[in-house]
Amino acid sequence: AKKLGRDNFCFYTEEMGLFVRKRIQIEADLPDAISQNQLLLNYQPKVSCLTNEVVGFEVLLRWLHPEFGLIPPGDFIPVVESSGLIVDVGEWVLTEVARQLVEWRKAGYELLPVAVNISGFHLHDESLSLFIKALAHQYQLNPSLLEVEITENALTGDTDSSIATMTELKKLGIKLSVDDFGTGYSSLSYLKKFPIDVLKIDRSFINECAYNPDDAAICMAIISLAKSLGLKIVAEGVESLEQLEFIQQQGCDIYQGYLYSRPLPASDVEVLLKRP
């Protein structure tokens, strides 16, 4: 057992060293990732709980790194969040979505809104609403085709600047969602302060909602809170019919998850779009 312990320890430190090296390299490589087209976007359908029709998409970022392969956002977004690069990443995502929407429009498809994940650091930056406004003008898109998802934790800190940005986004007709609702460290009072349209129930509550009474109770409470505040409710990470039936019964509006579809490359999204 001793030997095993030592081996485990060695393994652990090597892993940590790799982790630290990778972290440093990720930060150093990111500027190139943007200029060398290594970032790519997947689109996950958002589906109506009532009609089972696709009503929009959430765009999810990936990085095809020349050495590390496909890196999920959870591995590099936190590394770049505190650097100015997160604004560059956010602007790249927004621009790429606008370009894609125009491409779909040219191909004759009816456009559906696309939700973009915006980091809290970017939300505190007053350039965000100006950037989106200019982008929409440049691509001749209605800004309401873009939606913004912000994690609950991003709503802590300097609330004045985030309220200012959110108010500007609302003026453009952009819907705002609170992401990972119920997992953050903020008090519920922000629901009164921020001009929010949607709560997204975190996947961790949906996971066992069909048979764990605690998770079921949390989902029911979030849905009823959203309804009494006049907010729409989205369930994320729906993987089974049991989960879907449960949230449907509770009056959830929209769902996303592997049950309907994994996040897809843009080319695979077209079969889900309609031509009027």
Answer yes or no whether residue 225 interacts with ligand C2E by CB under 6 A: no
Q: Which phi and psi (to 5°) does residue 263 adopt? A: -60, 135
Answer yes or no whether residue 237 interacts with ligand C2E by CB under 6 A: yes
Instruction: Give the shortest CB-199-to-ligand C2E separation in angstroms.
Output: 13
The enclosing H or E element of 97 equals: helix 85-106
Q: Which CB atom, from 93 or from 128, has the smaller least distance to ligand C2E?
A: 93
Which two structure tokens, joined as six digits, stand for 179? 């992401």
Site string for ligand C2E, 83-102 (x = CB under 6 A): ----------x---------
Answer yes or no whether residue 180 interacts with Ca ion by CB under 5 A: yes
Q: Could you tell me how far CA 265 lies from the centroid of its own chain?
A: 16
Question: For helices 85-106 and 2-35, what crossing angle results, to 10°?
Answer: 60
Instruction: Give the shortest CB-77-to-ligand C2E separation in angstroms.
Output: 5
Could you say which residues in the range 197-216 bind Ca ion, by CB under 5 A? 200, 202-203
Which residue, among 205, 209, 147, 206, has the nearest Cα to 178 in the 3D structure? 147
Answer yes or no whether residue 182 interacts with ligand C2E by CB under 6 A: no
Instruction: Give the shortest CB-203-to-Ca ion separation in angstroms.
Output: 5
Among residues 34, 64, 73, 164, the one that binds ligand C2E under rule CB under 6 A: 73
- Measured from each CB, the residue nearest to ligand C2E is 257
Among residues 26, 49, 65, 117, the one that binds Ca ion under rule CB under 5 A: 117
Q: How far apart are CA 67 and CA 243, in angstroms?
A: 38
Answer yes or no whether residue 149 interacts with Ca ion by CB under 5 A: yes
Gyration radius of the chain's alpha carbons? 20
Helix/strand/coil for 73: helix
**DSSP collapsed to 3 states, 206-256:** HCCCCCCHHHHHHHHHHHHHHHHCCCEEEECCCCCHHHHHHHHHCCCCEEC
Among residues 117, 129, 177, 250, the one that binds ligand C2E under rule CB under 6 A: 117
Binding footprint of Ca ion on the chain (CB under 5 A): 117, 149, 179-180, 200, 202-203, 236
Binding footprint of ligand C2E on the chain (CB under 6 A): 44, 60-61, 72-74, 77, 93, 117, 119, 149, 151, 179-180, 203, 236-239, 256-258, 263
